[in-house]
Amino acid sequence: MTIDIIPIEHMQVVYDRPEALACNHTHYCPGCTHSIAHRLVAEAIDELGLREQTILVAPVGCSVFAYNYFTVDGCEAAHGRAPAMATGIKRVSPDKTVITYQGDGDLASIGIAEIIHAAARGEKITTIFVNNAIYGMTGGQMAPTTLPNQKTTSSPSGRDIASTGAPLKISELLAQIDGAVYVVRRSLHDVKHIRQAKKAILTALKVQQAGLGFGLVELLSTCPTNWGMTPVDAMHWVETAMMPYFPLGDYKIADSVHKLG
């Protein structure tokens, strides 16, 4: 059977780089899902037309240069203090959309106080929490979210929960706080889940636009380099090892968020 070949000039573009994502090459390792998370945030910003009024607060960690990768205004917070800085920005400019983008070393370790109190105060900011169960930038040390028996450079025999405690489940923790109105966990390990994560980020930004309260989207992510895996194996590990411990789901959706539709 012969088919008529349609030249590319007669086709329409159905997927291209979002405008809110800068053209810079990222410094992330091959297969790192940080870049996927960046793209989803940028797409959500574009779809809501918020590019000119968004301020992104970058963390310390692998995503420390996040402000270079978006075409929105941004600033860099001290380690773990992104929610505190975002609080100040949002209170001074309540008409802006303020997003903090934080990893698990930043948010769940040194910045745990800031995130809990930002949620407790019901700050009208959105936090994108990238959980890859390890400290990426500093060379693969154990994080508060490292799984039991997971080998890292600072737990070479595997995480011993008898001496180091069990991994923190941040979404479950923050869902207990009244000021948090939208807390969900999604994963970036395959196309279906990436699309679900995008919807969650869109909802979280709408929650902020409506001024309902604190919103957080936790994204299970990979760190192929420090896990010592190929990117493809790392995606599989998220599904088989991380998801049983960090179940995906909607941990807090306040009635006011349901009314948004």
Q: Could you give the residue ranges of the DSSP H alpha helices within 156-190?
A: 161-164, 170-175
Whichever of 5 and 162 has its CB closer to another protein, that residue is 5
Does 215 sit near another protein (CB under 8 A)? no
Binding test (CB under 8 A) with another protein, winner from 11, 156, 211, 261: 11
Whichever of 93 and 230 has its CB closer to another protein, that residue is 230
Of 26-34, 70-78, 125-133, 199-207, which part binds another protein (CB under 8 A)?
A: 26-34
Residue 71: count of CB within 10 angstroms of its CB: 18
Binding test (CB under 8 A) with another protein, winner from 20, 32, 125, 175: 32
* Tokens representing residue 70 in the block: 């978006």
- What are the angstrom distances between the C-alpha of 204 and each of 23, 82, 216, 249? 25, 17, 7, 14
Whichever of 35 and 155 has its CB closer to another protein, that residue is 35
Q: Where are the beta strands (DSSP E) in 85-197?
A: 97-103, 126-131, 180-187
* 212 and 256 Cβ atoms separated by less than 8 Å: yes
Whichever of 25 and 258 has its CB closer to another protein, that residue is 25
Binding test (CB under 8 A) with another protein, winner from 20, 36, 82, 142: 36
Site for another protein in 192-211 (CB under 8 A): 194-195
Residue with token string 């019901």: 122
Of 31-39, 92-100, 109-117, 253-261, which part binds another protein (CB under 8 A)?
A: 31-39
Whichever of 15 and 157 has its CB closer to another protein, that residue is 15
Does 8 sit near another protein (CB under 8 A)? yes
Contacts of 35 (CB under 8 A, 6+ apart): 26, 28
Contacts of 99 (CB under 8 A, 6+ apart): 41, 54, 55, 56, 57, 86, 125, 126, 127, 128, 205
Residue with token string 């607060």: 57
**Binding pattern for the stretch 96-125 against another protein, x by CB under 8 A and - elsewhere:** ------------------------------
Does 232 sit near another protein (CB under 8 A)? yes
Q: Which residues of the shown chain bind another protein in the complex (CB under 8 A)?
A: 3, 5-6, 8, 10-17, 21, 25-26, 28-36, 39, 190-191, 194-195, 224, 230-232, 235
